Amino acid sequence: MRKFTALFALICLCLWMLFQAPALAETRSMLDYKVTAEVIYGKGDVIVKDDEGDDYLDTINLWMDVYEPLEDTEEKTEEKPRPAIIFTHGGSFHRGSPRYTYDEGGAQDTSPGDYCRKFATRGYVCFAISYRLAPDNPVPSREGYPPEDIDMTNLELIIDQVNKVREVMGLEPLDPSDPEDMELLGDAVLSAAEDLRMALNYIRSADYNIDPERIVLGGFSAGAVTSLNVAHGMHEPVAATFQLSSGIIGFDIVKTVTESSDSPPILLIEGQNDLNAAFVSMPILIELYKEVGVRYTFAWVPAFGHFYTSGATSLSGDGSKMSVDERIMQFLDQTWGDL
């Protein structure tokens, strides 16, 4: 009986340690960073309906959660400027937020907030932003970039996924042959890019003690498309960009990225069974970057589709095998070495 009791106690202790270890690790990591929630970085125009059903122009607040590393003030009297990451969430330009985690078909991704926690513990100031979505009926300003840089023909690459999301949201599907439907989706793509640009400009001017030469744009799915559009479409001055399951949507990247465009380095990651937009776009982007001399890294996540966690294993052509988040960190370390 004593042997059984001792064995039972040992099993209970092991189980307690197994389930408490992640919680304890998270508690310790919480000492390494602080979070400031819902910081307003700007406003965006949207179309809303009044009580009579008539449309009118209004604005909504655009917000972000800010994750900042904490310093040991006893050892360090003057903090050096830090690198920064702006992470933009996915959701087919229809849903999502900086705190939302997708769980679809048994596969789960990692939320922008969770990515930012990882980055903050590595010394980055990380911003997880919201932006205007298609259900907001966004109105892009179309300022700051020439209209000839826009090509919406690739919207057809995401229309099937968009309509799956709209069905989940209880919305009518968009008709790719209806110009008004395609205009709505195109306005959402452009508004997202304008909002990320607005967040970038706000962050540059705010007092976050950031190194302006080391600001990185990254995101997942629609957020990756948006980061690509701002970094390689609008050519906003950033140090690098990383793309988790991206595509060429909105800006004509093949046209905007040239040998003289001074485009920042890029990390491209896709799932083995990813969406059509990624499969069509990735070879085009890789060939383009080879041709014009943009430094790029490509990796893929075996056995996963569009959704994968930051801890999922990624593989690259050089034979390296590492988690998605470690791949991002390695890419950024190489980027800083090039500066």
For residue range 258-287, list pLDDT tens digits in order. Answer: 999 999 999 999 999 999 999 999 999 999
Q: Give the start-to-end residue ranges of the domains of the chain.
A: 22-338
Please state the rounded mean pLDDT for residues 183-199: 98
CATH code that applies to domain 22-338:
3.40.50.1820
Task: Convert the pLDDT of each residue in 48-62 to its tens digit.
Answer: 988 887 899 999 999
- Please tell me the predicted confidence (pLDDT) of residue 79: 73
What DSSP element (H or E) covers 160? helix 159-168
Residue with tokens 């690509």: 228
For residue 200, pLDDT beyond 60? yes
- The whole-number pLDDT of residue 339 equals 58
Range in 28-32, 181-185, 294-298 the model is least confident about: 28-32
Residue 92 Rama label (left phi>0; alpha psi -120 to 50; beta): left
Share of the chain above pLDDT 70, in %: 88
Beta strands 150-151; 103-104: pairing state:
unpaired
Segment 155-183 mean pLDDT: 97
Mean pLDDT of 10-16: 42
Which pLDDT score is estimated for 13?
42
Lowest mean pLDDT among 9-18, 85-94, 201-210: 9-18
Exposed (0-12), middle (13-18) or buried (19+): which is 105, by Cβ within 10 Å? exposed
List, for residues 84-143, the tens digit of each pLDDT value.
Answer: 999 999 999 999 999 989 887 777 899 999 999 999 999 999 999 999 999 999 999 999
Please report the pLDDT score of residue 19 as a whole number.
36
Name residues whose C-beta falls within 8 Å of residue 304's C-beta, 6 or more positions apart in sequence. 107, 271, 272, 273, 312
Model pTM score: 0.89
Residue 250's SS3 state is: strand
pLDDT band at 22 (very low <50, low <70, confident <90, very high): very low
Digit-coded pLDDT (tens) for 138-163: 999 999 999 999 999 999 999 999 99
pLDDT digits (tens, 9 = 90+) for 237-251: 999 999 999 999 999
pLDDT at 295 over 50: yes
Cβ atoms within 10 Å, residue 103: 9
CA distance 139 to 58: 10
Please, are residues 99 and 113 in contact by the beta-carbon 8 Å criterion? Answer: yes
H or E stretch at 25: helix 2-30
pLDDT single digits (tens) 304-338: 999 999 999 999 988 899 999 999 999 999 999 86
CB 189, CB 229: distance < 8 Å: yes
